[in-house]
Amino acid sequence: MKEFSKEEVEKYSEDLKELQDVRSTATQIERPSDAGREALLRYAAQLEALEPVFPVSETDVRVGFKWGNSFNPNKKSTQSTFLFEKACILYNLGAHESRSASEEDRETEAGLKAAGHRFQVSAGIFQHVRDKVVGGLVGTLTQDLIPDGLSAASTLMLAQAQACFYEKAVKDRARTMLKPGIIAKLAAKAAELYTQTLACMQGPNLAPGLDNSWPAHVEFQSMQFSAAASYWESVRLHDVAEETGTGYGVEIAHLQKSSDLLARAFKQAHRNSLSSTFTTKAETLKGIVTKALNSRAKDNSTIYLEPVPSQATLNAVPGLGMVKPTPFVESTGDSCPKGKPLFDGLLSKSAKAALEEYKKKEAAVVGGMDSLAKESSVAARDQLKAVGLPGTVEAHESVGGVPESAWKKVQAVQQGGGGLNELKEKVAEVEGSAERARATLETVERTLDEDVRKDEAFRKRYSGEYEGMSTSELGGDLRRDVEHYRGLWRTARSADTKVISRIEEPSNREGLEMLELTRAGLDAAMPAGKGKGAGQQGHSVDTAALSGKLGELATLLADRDAKMTQVHEYVKNRTVANELAVAGRNGGGTPEAYHVAVEHALAGLQPFKADIDASVKMQGPLLEQIFAENERFQKARASDQETLDREAFLQKVHASVVLFHDVHALLSEGSMFYSDLLQRLAQLNQTCEDLVYTQALHRREFEVGYTHRRERALKEGEDASIELARQMESQALQGHQQQQPGGGCASPPAATGAYPGVGAPAAGVAGAPSAAYPYARWHPPSGQQQPQQPQQQQQQPGHGMGWGGQQQQQQGGPPSYQQQHAQYPPGGSGPPPAQPGGYYGGPTAAQAPQAPPAAEPAVPAGAPAGRGRWGPWSVAGGGGGAPGAAAGAGARAGGQAKPLPPIPTAAGGGDANDPKFRRLLEMGFEPARVRAALSEANGDESAAVSKLLQG
């Protein structure tokens, strides 16, 4: 995908597979279960996380999500947004809860409670989809996903939940003595909810195209529960009439209304062919109502004689609602079932650009605040130091040892493990981190350089063949990152040197060592004074105003430092990546949308900036007040050398404390910088290793493929050479067979009545054809199987032909004989190969003969030269394999090619070294028959063949 780099694709490939598994599990649920519910919830949560990451939309990357209308399965819809997919999945979740509720055992109290709860959960899910999800969809939706369809589904779930409460009330009445009026109200509320559902279904947005079974069932339920409400209202009225002696007529009117409603319901059920199973409970209620109506009407006609009002005058039974939608809260982040969202940290290309823009602006804003705060604080302290504050005041007010305020500053340093040794440890930490960063940069460079050399050597070796992208080209971005980080490293090392030099400066080092002294040690080092507020003349000087202002300034500077600490924590902990991605996606992914998102994210820093600006603004007037008070103090006090020495000592203590905090803060900042740098360098190093590994893998794959192609080309060339030699040998054999024994050519044979176009029979074999191989091909001798006709092929015979493979034959060449496997191979030859492979006539490249082949027999005079070792019939033909083929080197045992078995020595005729004898053996004839045929034909090979063919 164009949005993401190759490294990101590889990094998140497992997440992609897991997402597919999650979706498959969520979309293949057959029956409701806790596992199914978890699968749907998890996939919905993943969709919430994926939406701002992947640019799936109708205008960008189109991934079609299909949905079938639950109200009318013939209607389907497809959209390309994660929001549409989430709406469908949450709808399925609501249906899952509804199905779970319907499968509860409602004959038990626990089952009724569970069913009622699940129906309300389902209602809440449908309501959530309606209010929070589908409003963001565009285009045409199926009826079940439009607001009216979701309202119908939600209200239907509530009606069924209310029905559960009614059923429980009826079942428990004998035990709980629940009043019939309450039961009537429960039934009335169920009827009301069913009626609301029916109104949605009959509305203009749902009625067209809605399967009639939906409103038919809902209307039946509405009338059934209305009838139940009227019945239980009649029971209530009967109890009242029994107490008051009046009201029997109204009771009968409600029974009549219940009976009429049930009659209408059954008529509607018959008209819409509703299942009898669905109307069972209504049948039971009908029996109860009919019995009560007959009894009450008889009593009224004979005893009470009350008029029965019309049904139109009856008061409606008020409903008592016991149910409401259970709010649905989507699970995201770490609360997502079975872990955090997939693709954590992955951003779209546009979101990455927006994030980089935010980081730059954030760094500028935070850097400006940081610089302003530090420069202002340093300026305040420098100005105080220039006039001897606060040391002069502390020295004036102290008696004997160091003032309490000065000791508290030193004590704060010591409690934090401070002093010179603490700073040395921080320096060592920074130095170690800096060295690791330098080593990592060198490792990345060295790894890249080594692979560039390997890649260049590989390309040189396979010049013009390998076309993969070079490591030098792919590693360009990595080298730029290395240089970028090396520049940051050098800048940081320059800052480190300055900070360390401040520690090593002799006067600063002495002051930092002084911070490690105990209270007693500092008191002893403090020059003695004359007493609090006493000058040379002993006049008392009031320093309260000056001390108060100095305290205000100290608080101001401390609050400023604390505020900057908050700023850095805010920046460190805030994650704006997803926020920017979501904002950009909602804005259509345009540059303007991302710009607005960045500015909105930066707005979070404005309160901090306002506080820093206010703090700096307050510093100027406060310093002016301090200087004014200090001027009065200096005029009023009488200075002597002892006081000046004490002031200098305290100023040194104060300066050392400030130096410690400044240097410690800078070293801590440096430590954080190197920690972040090392993380980034670790990622860079991993990316580099991934690149090198991928390049090595590509080179290896190419090398394997290249070697395979080379070996195949060599094999094809070898096969082609063997085939060419076979064809040349076959042609040479034909030429030899057409010659007369004396070397002349035979004249065309005269036709006979029995064998038209066939030459005269050989001597001693009356009527046998001569070496007319085509005749033998088309007219096999009796007792032999009809051979298969050779097939014309468009290319040269195959390379690597297997057992029984087809081989193209030259016109007029040797016949293709086909035998039963029981006859194959002929006696004396090796066994057939254990498995297909290789080419006949020699071992495969991986199968060298176990022993060198026997010496080739000399070619007798007059025989055609240039035959292969196994003779011209060593290649199988026509699908059956010629006799003698298995005797060639193609016959294998134990994975090794076997040499041709030795030819038996002739006994009483025929010679093992006779080429005629050997050729006939290689054709598959038995040695004894070959000797006999040659003997009878007086050595004429053609006549011998005819003799052998005739059996």
pLDDT in tens, 468-494: 889 989 889 889 999 999 999 999 999
**Same-domain status, 774 and 898:** yes
**Same-domain status, 831 and 864:** yes
**Same-domain status, 367 and 330:** no
Distance CA 552, CA 622 (A): 8
Distance CA 365, CA 383 (A): 27
pLDDT score of 913: 65
DSSP state of 908: S
Distance CA 166, CA 112 (A): 10
Which residues are CB-neighbours of 577 under 8 A, at least 6 positions away? Answer: 345, 347, 351, 355
**Same-domain status, 781 and 681:** no
| Structure-token match 């994926």, residue found | 50
Higher pLDDT pick, 923 / 16: 16
Q: Amino acid identity, residue 156?
A: L
**Same-domain status, 109 and 150:** yes
- In a domain? residue 512: yes
- In a domain? residue 759: no
Helix, strand, or coil here: 531? coil
**Same-domain status, 666 and 780:** no
State the SS3 of 19-84.
HHHHHHHHHCCCCCCHHHHHHHHHHHHHHHHHCCCCCECCCCECCCEEEECCCCCCCEEEECCHHH
DSSP state of 401: S
pLDDT score of 214: 92
Q: Worst-scoring range by mean pLDDT, 190-199, 223-232, 387-396, 454-463?
A: 387-396
**Same-domain status, 120 and 146:** yes
DSSP state of 400: S
Q: What is the CATH number of the domain that holds 122?
A: 1.25.40.280
Q: Which of 259, 251, 119 lies closest to 197, judged by CA?
A: 119
Higher pLDDT pick, 801 / 428: 428
pLDDT score of 607: 92
* Structural domain that includes position 490: 349-432+477-688
- In a domain? residue 565: yes
Assess contact for 158 and 179: CB atoms under 8 A. no
Distance CA 423, CA 668 (A): 10
CA dist 883 → 336, 797, 920, 946 (Å):
74, 19, 10, 16
pLDDT score of 780: 35
- In a domain? residue 879: yes
pLDDT score of 586: 60
Helix, strand, or coil here: 249? helix
Assess contact for 407 and 522: CB atoms under 8 A. yes
Helix, strand, or coil here: 897? strand
The rounded mean pLDDT for the chain is: 76
Assess contact for 883 and 832: CB atoms under 8 A. no
Q: At which of 654, 688, 722 does a domain end?
A: 688
pLDDT score of 794: 40
H or E element that contains 307:
none
**Same-domain status, 340 and 363:** no
Distance CA 427, CA 418 (A): 13
First and final CA of the chain: distance in angstroms? Answer: 74
pLDDT score of 438: 94
**Same-domain status, 677 and 809:** no
How confident is the model over 875-902, as a mean pLDDT?
A: 36
Which residues are CB-neighbours of 890 under 8 A, at least 6 positions away? Answer: 803, 833, 838, 839, 840, 841, 842, 874, 876, 897
pLDDT score of 522: 79
Neighbours of 134 (CB within 10 A): 20
DSSP state of 833: P
Residue 197, φ and ψ in degrees, nearest 5: -60, -45
Distance CA 886, CA 587 (A): 78
- In a domain? residue 917: yes
- In a domain? residue 104: yes
Q: Work out the percent of the chain whose per-residue pLDDT is above 70.
A: 73
H or E element that contains 650:
helix 641-737
On the 0-12 / 13-18 / 19+ scale of CB atoms within 10 A, 36 is buried
On the 0-12 / 13-18 / 19+ scale of CB atoms within 10 A, 175 is exposed
Assess contact for 70 and 88: CB atoms under 8 A. no
**Six token digits for residue 347:** 């951003």
**Same-domain status, 20 and 147:** yes
Q: Amino acid identity, residue 237?
A: L
Q: Amino acid identity, residue 314?
A: L
How do 896-897 and 892-893 pair as beta strands? antiparallel
* Sign of the torsion formed by the C-alpha atoms of 777, 783, 784 and 785: positive
- In a domain? residue 213: no
Q: Worst-scoring range by mean pLDDT, 16-25, 41-50, 336-345, 361-370?
A: 336-345
**Six token digits for residue 70:** 């639950």
Assess contact for 435 and 673: CB atoms under 8 A. no
Long-range contacts of 698-707 (CB under 8 A, 24+ apart): 698/468, 699/454, 699/455, 699/458, 699/466, 699/468, 702/462, 702/465, 702/466, 702/468, 706/462, 706/465
DSSP state of 839: -
Overall domain count for the chain: 3
Assess contact for 398 and 533: CB atoms under 8 A. no
Band (895; pLDDT cuts 50, 70, 90): very low
| Structure-token match 């209620």, residue found | 285
Q: Where are the beta strands (DSSP E) in 351-485?
A: none
**pLDDT tens digits for range 241-260:** 999 999 999 999 999 999 99
Neighbours of 703 (CB within 10 A): 14
Q: At which of 283, 318, 346 does a domain end?
A: 346
Q: Which of 779, 916, 781 lies closest to 857, judged by CA?
A: 916
H or E element that contains 49:
helix 34-50
**Same-domain status, 661 and 787:** no
Distance CA 203, CA 200 (A): 5
pLDDT score of 642: 66
- In a domain? residue 416: yes
**Same-domain status, 330 and 368:** no
Q: At which of 688, 722, 740 does a domain end?
A: 688
Residue 608 has pLDDT above 80, yes or no: yes
Assess contact for 570 and 608: CB atoms under 8 A. yes
Distance CA 354, CA 572 (A): 18
**Six token digits for residue 827:** 């006696």
Long-range contacts of 871-875 (CB under 8 A, 24+ apart): 871/918, 871/919, 871/922, 872/726, 872/729, 872/730, 872/733, 872/813, 872/814, 872/919, 873/814, 873/919, 873/922, 873/923, 874/726, 874/840, 874/841, 874/922, 875/726, 875/797, 875/807, 875/840, 875/841
CA dist 478 → 454, 483, 587 (Å):
17, 9, 33
DSSP state of 103: T
Q: Which of 226, 217, 223 lies closest to 277, judged by CA?
A: 217
pLDDT score of 637: 63
Overall size of the chain counted in residues? 951
Residue 394 has pLDDT above 80, yes or no: no
pLDDT score of 727: 83
Distance CA 154, CA 324 (A): 10
